[in-house]
Structure formats: C-alpha cells, structure tokens
A and B are shown apart, each in its own frame.
Chain A
C-alpha cells in the first residue's frame, strides 16, 4: 500500500478549486447580462426623447419656455429607471415569491387610496397620487404586483393548476382590475385581463379552461354593455376610431384619431424629416408627446422609421421570450412571459390606436412616450428579465 505523498492531495484540491472557481466565475450572474435587451431599451428611450423634443419644440417656443423642458424631465426619469433596472436585477428574483403578498397588498392599498380624495383627477380620470411633487400612477405598480402574485401562485401548483387555483388567480386579478376600471382606466383594465390570459396560457392551465374563460369573458362583456357598466363615452371611444375617415366629425371625439392618421399617413415612405412634421410641430395631434408619440415617429421618419421602431420592440419581445424559455423554474418563465405579454399588448394597443385600428385608450408606448412612471417601471421590468436571465443556471 503506497503511502500517499504529502501534498499531492492538496495539489489536487487546489487544482479542483481552481477549476471550480473558473466555472463559478463563468456562471456568475453578472457575467450573464443580456446586452441586446438593454441596448434596445436604451435606443428606444433615446428615440423617444428625440420625438418628445420634436413634438414640443414649437409649442414650448411659442409659450416662451425652454425647448428642452420635457426632454430634461424624461432624462431624469431615465436615470432613475436605470437605477430601478439595477435594483430589479440585483437580488435573486426567487425572493419575490416571498414578497409577493406584501407587494400585492401594497399595490391594492395604493389603488384604493387613489380613488379616495387623496387621488388626483386629470381629464376626468382619477389615476394619480401626488407624492412630494412627484406624480405616481399606482396602476403601473399594480401591473407588476399582479404579475408577481399570480406567477407565484401558479408556480406553487407546479404547472398543473386546477380549478381552485384558477379561481384564486382570477380573484387576485379581479380586485385591482375593478379598482382601475373605477378610475376609470379602461386601457389598464384590459392589460390586466390580457396579463391573466398570458399567465394562464404559459402557466399550464388546461386548454378547455382557457376556452371556457374566454367564452365567459365575452359573455361578461356583453352583460356589462347591457347593464351599462361601461359608460357611453367609453363605448364611443371604443368604436369612435372606426369613423375616423369621416371629415364631418372633425371636431368630435374622433378628432384625435383623424389627426393621428393624417400625421402618420402624410409621413409616407421616408418621412418628412426631423422637426419637419407639420402635424407634429403645429400640435394638430393632441397628446403627441405622450400617448400619441408614435405619430411623431410616423410623420417625421415615415414608414421606414416606424418599421425600425417596431423592429426594436420585436427585439425586446424576442429576448424576453428567450428568457422565458431559458428560465430554470416556472416562476421565472411566468414572470418573463408576463412582462413580454404586457409589453406586447401595450405596443399593440398604443400603435394600433394611432393608426386607427384600436380604440383610443390612455396607454403609453413603452420606453418612447413621455412619462416618468412608465419609463421607470419599464426599466424595472427589463431589470427583472435580466434577473431571470442571469440566474438561469
């Protein structure tokens, strides 16, 4: 029996540890960021700021205000957004399962407060809380809270949710949806319902349940119409875009859609050029720095510019879906799929609204529209995707 040579074992251990640490370093979360995803988000935000500047340039000049007013505010929001991205990516997303309940209850509480006199009403809709000079839109936060809560629930059921789980999930979504609907904010309500559908689909809810829920949803909508739960002006907003071609309604509720169509259509293939859009600079499209920001892109950069922006959105969706596939657990898959789902729907509702194939709802265009809360939340969402991506091993 040979006596082991002293030190041989140690040498092996050192060798083994060296290999281990090389592997560990290779799998360190920080080495698995997704630069394509982050870069796309940053490019979109940059384009957004150019568009915001162009949209407000003339109006601000006429009022004697600095032309950079909105852009500098947006830049601050972008910085805050990057911090939010960092925070959302830093901790292990799996801890969120533990905080899901707190997050959810907090969001619901804020939504309730928003509906009390503490909330702020703008344009007939009570959506905001003013905190120390900052406008906070709790419904943006609620999207994240609902996503985490439902994803956590479905994760617990290991991808085979039965009817009781579906019931609990619906209840979880139902409360904030109703609160948002009361503000009223039809657009965000639709986002909640869509989010639920995406999570149920990816979370393994049986196909027959999905079909049943869809049927129930249609029936419920019909009932809401009959019981006049949806107010006539909301209905008019929902159908008004169909009349946008009728110039006799130029001053009516479809004015916005009509002007939006003119702006985008008149951009033609190559666009009128930066700062050359007349619909944009002469303020013919109301809210063209926020919800209707896409009209600036369409008018000044034409079909080419609009297609590039849509392509950037698709890149983000592609990275998001890839992350959903790569995730090491169902919770991560559901979180990623949920983020992608909300993102896709918002892009579709917003761009669809500006090109007249979707109703006018107050949904901002992710990364591009002027608005701090939305920008910060979307960078946080990107952080969350990174988080899942980094910890996929």
Chain B
C-alpha cells in the first residue's frame, strides 16, 4: 500500500516537493558560504586566528657604541630610571581616560612627576611604542619617584617604574656633528626595504654616523611570542628570541685631537672677532668655521670640527621644538649644520693647486714663467692681483708661493682662447682635473648630507643659464631701466649662456662660480700630499661586536687618481712648501716661531671674496712636507684673510698634533691681513 496522499491528494505531494526544494536551497546556501569561508578565504582567516592567539612582546636591543680610535666612547647607552604606564589600562580607544579610576591615577602621576595631565595623556598616546608594552612617560626620574610608585602599587595600577637604555654622550658636545642623533622612524621609512626590520616607534639614526651605520649599530630586537586566550591570559610561550646587541663602530677619530681641534677652531674664531677687517673697518664677523684633520695615506679622518656646535644630549628622549629652532636658526649661524661636509664656499686661492695642476695637464711647463703684474686685461675688464706691486716673472712654484693671481689669469685666458677655438671639440681641462681632485663631486664620506660643490665651465654655464634664463629676463623687465642690476640682468637674459674669458680667469683663482666644501679642499691636498691618490674620506674604521671581535674592517677606497708626473708634482710641492718656509711666502708670518726645521709644513692660503660679505679665510696644509702624515684644512666664514685667521688656527692644530708646543701654551695669534 503506497501513500494514499499521493493517490488522493496530489496537491499535498506537490506542496511537500515545494518544501523539499526550499530545504535544498537553504542547505546549498550554507554549503556555498562554508566553501567561501573555509576554502576560498581560508588562508586569510587562518592568519586572523593566528593574530588572535599570539601576542608579541618586544625587548629592545641595546644599540652599539661609537668609539674613537683610542677607545674613548663618543656615544653609548646608559640605563635611565623611567616611569611608564600601560596605555590600555588608562586610556580608551579615543585617547581619553577610560574611567574615574584612570583619571585618579593620572592625577596622582601628574603630581608625582610634576607634569600636566594633558601632557601625560599625550605621551601615552604616542604611536611610538607597541600597545603591548608600557609607554614611557618620564625619563631620568629621581629614585624617590620610583620608590613611591613601587611601594604604592595599589595607587598606581598599570604604572611601572623600569630602567630603559637611552643614548648618552660621555664626551659632551665633542664630535656632535659626526656622531649624529636618534629620531623616531617615519612612516615612509617604515615602508622601505632598508628599514624592513624596524617597527613603528623605533628610534633610528638621524644625521652623522648614527644614520650611516644604522644597520650595524641597531642590533636586533628580541621577541617573545605568547599564546593568549580570549581573556588575554598567557597560556604558553610559543617562541622566544633574545635581543642581539648592536655592533660598536670604531672610528679613526683621535679623541684628544678631536677635542683640541674643536677647541682651537673655536678659540681662533672667537679671538679673531676682536680684530679689524681693514677694508670695511669693522671687526671680523667670523660667523662660523670648519677644521679637518685627515691622514693623506688612506683618507682616514682624525678630527673634524664644525663651529658653532650643539649638544646631542638634548636629543635624548626627543628634542624640544625650542632647541630645534635654536640650532637650525640662521641668526644663530645654524649650529646643527655640519659645515666641513655641507658648507659650499668659494675656495679662493686654495683652489690654485687644482688650477695649477690643470694648466700643467693642458701642456704648460712648470718652469714656464709668466709675469706677475698687478693687473690683467680681459675683454676690456681689469682683473687685479691681490698685491698692487709688480712682482716680476714667475714659475708655477713662485706663483703658488706668492699666490699670484695674474699668473693664473694669463695662463687660463690663453687656455680659454684655445678651447674657444676648438669650439667644443676639445674637452674643457679644468672641470675634468678638478674632478680628479674631488671637486664638483661628492667624495663619499661616511656621513650624510655631503655636498658636491661646483666647478663651472662652458657646459655648466650653458645648462645653468637655460635653467635660470627666465628669471634674468623677468628681472631685467621689472628692474629700473638703466640701473646697474638691470643692465647686468638684461645682458644675462640675452647672452648669459656664454662662457667668457673673464669667467675662465675668475674660476682659475677659485672665485666666480666655484664652490667647494672644506672636505673637498682637504681631499685635493690629500691628493697633492700623497702623490696623486684621492681617497674617499672615512670616519668609520671597523665594526666590532660586543666582545671586541672585528665584524667588518672598513677599507679605504680610492675616489680618484690625479694625473701628474714627478716634475709637475715636485713643482707644486715646492710651491706649497715655500708658502710657509719662504720669507716671501704668504703664510710665512703665520708660522713664525713654528719649528719648521723639525716639522716642515707645506700649505696654501686662501682669501675668498663673496661680496658684500667679509672674505672667507682658508688655509690648507700638509705636514711633514717631505713625508706627509696629516692634512689640515681650516675655513673661517667671514674670517678675513687666509693668512690672518685660517693659517694661525691651522698652525695651532699642527702644534697640537706634532706636540711641538706644550699643550697649555698653544695660542691663536692673528696673522698679517694683507697676505692672501
């Protein structure tokens, strides 16, 4: 007997079939959703489940130290007593105190730490720290505060007193520009490959060696992965990785020499301000300066000073905006600015070793004589020597000794004519030779923000003009008709792309559009001193691990090779030696009393004009002249004549280096102004 329903009531069977279809549709809906969740999107949900159950607690790795060649610590870590608080226990998601209890805790902290509640909330809210560890509110608190917190735990739920490592500078301000400082990693950096191992809130090197050697100094943070349940109770340790301390950086800096160089530069600059600049009748402004001491045999920096300086300690725990303003303000001569590598100035006469080498490579003979007249005419313009007296015929050696401008004017005017006739078929000699001396290019020192300077020439002028022509033409239209500025701009608008004889003449004595950093000048004299090799200057010497084992030697690298034969080199060496040794040498006066018979010094003065400012004083030297082991370059911005301020400062540094004078007796004495 089969279903009588089916026989007697066909509509009921139909209705049950309809019900079956609905049921099947429901199950298909469930099954397809499960397919989506578990098969198509399963990977993503598996990841989410993993994030759910795993909490990562990070242990910071102590950052490596930076030490001098003789083992003095320039920067290291120091434990700082810190009061921290768990953000989640005090603040809600909107960054407000989460309840009345939290408000009371914040009030108590405010009284204890002498900080406004708002300030505490702000510090807690910073994204700099992982939400799973307490956020530091106050660094370097008094031990009494730590005791109060620890002994009254019930009053400070979620607050911990702990010891955290912070950067400290045992040598104070010394080498501040070289060491650099730390700052919070930026969003952009977090996304980049270079910072793949970093997390939000990490401190990274900003400026100086801290920045360049970031990857080796920072080490690797430790990480413990806990399994937690829905109540955040830790059930198990899944994995544990100890922090790896960062490596130390050993530099080529000599702590004692660095200290002395900074002091002697500062002393020289500050003393020079009480002397008069005769042309303007004012005291020398001497607004800032640089001093570099390097080893010409491998390019190792032994000391490098930038004046004025700043206190890196101010950056610990985050620099205040006031201090940042102060050290980046032009009115304060921007102390944060690392002048030796970032300041581009006209090099003036110190450039003459480069232009001298260029003229030799262009085919001139070192013994060719050119008359050192007081003036030289080019295209109706008169170019003057610094000395108004006629000095007679001179070789390259003589011209270097006397820093004779007209010698270079004449040779470079002839060279310009030759190149003009070749009409671009022949490469310009000066920019190429200058580059082999490290000018017009960065040298690749292991510091950030190195500038490359400018060595102008025909091509450079054309490009520069094309980029700026619109400005010249606009100014020519706007300015008062017939005024000097208007005429100059009108001329530049039409023919500013021309490389004229006057430009070539000006460039030959390191004026005009030539710009160089003190480091570039030092590099050029390194090339002269060691017979032709320009190394990339280096401060880092080796990366060593915590036990002192060398991880990586930082080898000297050759930046470029100078192409001069022995006769040519000898002519330049002799000229530079005579600058100091010869009675008529421009730095003879500045080195009066220096034991030149023991330590022969070769050098070159420079007095770079930068109208309307007081000239920039330069002195570049190497010693001992016959077997150089050190190059010293000093630049004083608006310091007057090279022989007046720069050479005397360089002399004091050499006195310190060679210990020719008792340390306490080394004293800056201003030199004669009118010797370039």
A-side interface residues toward B, CB under 8 Å?
58, 62, 159, 198, 201-202, 204, 259, 261-269, 278-279, 282-284, 286, 298-299, 302-303, 306-307, 310, 313-314, 317, 321, 324-328, 330, 333, 337, 340-341, 344, 347-348, 351-352, 355-357, 393
Contacts and interface: CB of A to CB of B under 8 A. Distances in A.
Interface string B24-62: 001101110111011101111110111011000000000
Contact of B30 (A201, A263, A302, A310): A310
B18 interface: yes
A182 B39 CA distance: 41
Contacts of A327: 3, 5
Interface string B227-254: 1111101010000000000000000000
Contacts of B48: 262, 265-266
Contacts of A259: 52, 230
B15 interface: yes
Contact of B53 (A265, A278, A333, A341): A278
A341 B19 contact: yes
A268 B39 contact: yes
10 contacts: A202-B15, A268-B38, A269-B39, A279-B49, A282-B230, A306-B38, A328-B4, A333-B5, A344-B26, A357-B33
Contacts of B665: none
Nearest to A248: B93
B45 A262 contact: yes
B528 to A, nearest CB: 66
Query: Which of A266, A356, A393 counts the most chain B CB atoms within 10 A?
Result: A266
B52 A279 contact: yes
Contacts of A302: 38
Given A265-B45, A269-B42, A314-B27, A321 B53 contact: no
Nearest to A303: B38
B11 interface: yes
A201 B41 CA distance: 38
Give the 9 A-B residue pairs with the shortest CB-CB distance, closest first: A265-B45, A268-B42, A266-B49, A282-B229, A303-B38, A265-B37, A266-B46, A266-B45, A283-B230
A202 to B, nearest CB: 5
Contacts of B18: 201
B11 to A, nearest CB: 6
Given A265-B46, A303-B35, A337 B9 contact: no
A393 B31 CA distance: 37
B34 A202 contact: no
Provide the main secondary structure of the chain B interface. helix
B30 A283 contact: no
Contacts of A201: 15, 18-19
A264 B38 contact: yes
Contact of B33 (A278, A314, A317, A355): A355
B29 A352 contact: yes
A341 B49 CA distance: 35
Given A284-B230, A355-B34, 12 more contacts: A198-B19, A201-B18, A264-B37, A265-B42, A266-B45, A298-B38, A303-B35, A310-B30, A314-B27, A317-B23, A330-B9, A333-B12
A279 B6 CA distance: 49
Given A279-B52, A284-B52, A325-B3, A202 B42 contact: no
A306 B227 CA distance: 27
Contacts of B27: 310, 313-314, 348
B99 to A, nearest CB: 16
Query: Which of A268, A330, A347 counts the most chain B CB atoms within 10 A?
Result: A268
Interface string B5-23: 1100101110110111011
A282 B228 contact: yes
Contacts of B111: none
A246 to B, nearest CB: 13
A159 B12 contact: yes
Contacts of B19: 198, 201-202, 321, 337, 340-341
B345 to A, nearest CB: 56
A217 B37 CA distance: 33
A268 to B, nearest CB: 4
A357 B23 CA distance: 16
A342 to B, nearest CB: 12
Interface string B112-140: 00000000000000000000000000000
B279 interface: no
A321 B45 contact: no
Contact of A265 (B22, B41, B50, B230): B41
B94 interface: no
Query: Which of B1, B6, B16, B49 counts the most chain A CB atoms within 10 A?
Result: B49
Provide the main secondary structure of the chain A interface. helix
A321 B15 CA distance: 11
A9 to B, nearest CB: 30
Query: Which of B4, B34, B37, B39 counts the most chain A CB atoms within 10 A?
Result: B37
B585 to A, nearest CB: 77
A127 B26 CA distance: 28
A354 to B, nearest CB: 10
Contacts of B15: 201-202, 204
B293 to A, nearest CB: 58
Contact of A325 (B13, B50, B53): B13
Nearest to B13: A325
Contacts of B1: 393
A100 B18 CA distance: 28
B31 A307 contact: yes
Nearest to B229: A282
Contact of B16 (A202, A265, A286): A202
A288 to B, nearest CB: 10
Contacts of B9: 159, 204, 330
A337 B16 CA distance: 8
B39 A303 contact: yes
A218 to B, nearest CB: 17
A92 to B, nearest CB: 18
Contacts of B12: 159, 202, 204, 330, 333
B128 to A, nearest CB: 22
A293 to B, nearest CB: 15
Contacts of A268: 38-39, 42-43, 45-46
Contacts of B231: 283
B626 to A, nearest CB: 74
B44 to A, nearest CB: 7
A251 to B, nearest CB: 8
Interface in B208-236: 227-231, 233, 235
Nearest to A350: B30
Nearest to A247: B48
Contacts of A341: 19
Interface in B329-382: none
A317 B16 CA distance: 12
B112 to A, nearest CB: 31
B2 to A, nearest CB: 8
A261 B37 contact: yes
Contacts of B39: 268-269, 303
Contacts of A307: 31, 34
Contacts of B38: 264-265, 267-269, 298, 302-303, 306
A327 B229 CA distance: 52
B4 to A, nearest CB: 7
A262 B9 CA distance: 48
Contact of A298 (B16, B34, B52, B53): B34
Given A261-B37, A321-B16, A325-B5, A355 B49 contact: no
Contacts of A352: 29-30, 33
B11 A204 contact: yes
Contacts of A263: 49
Nearest to A201: B15
A141 B8 CA distance: 33
A355 B52 contact: no
Contacts of B6: 325
Contacts of A266: 42, 45-46, 48-49
A326 B3 contact: yes
A261 B39 CA distance: 13
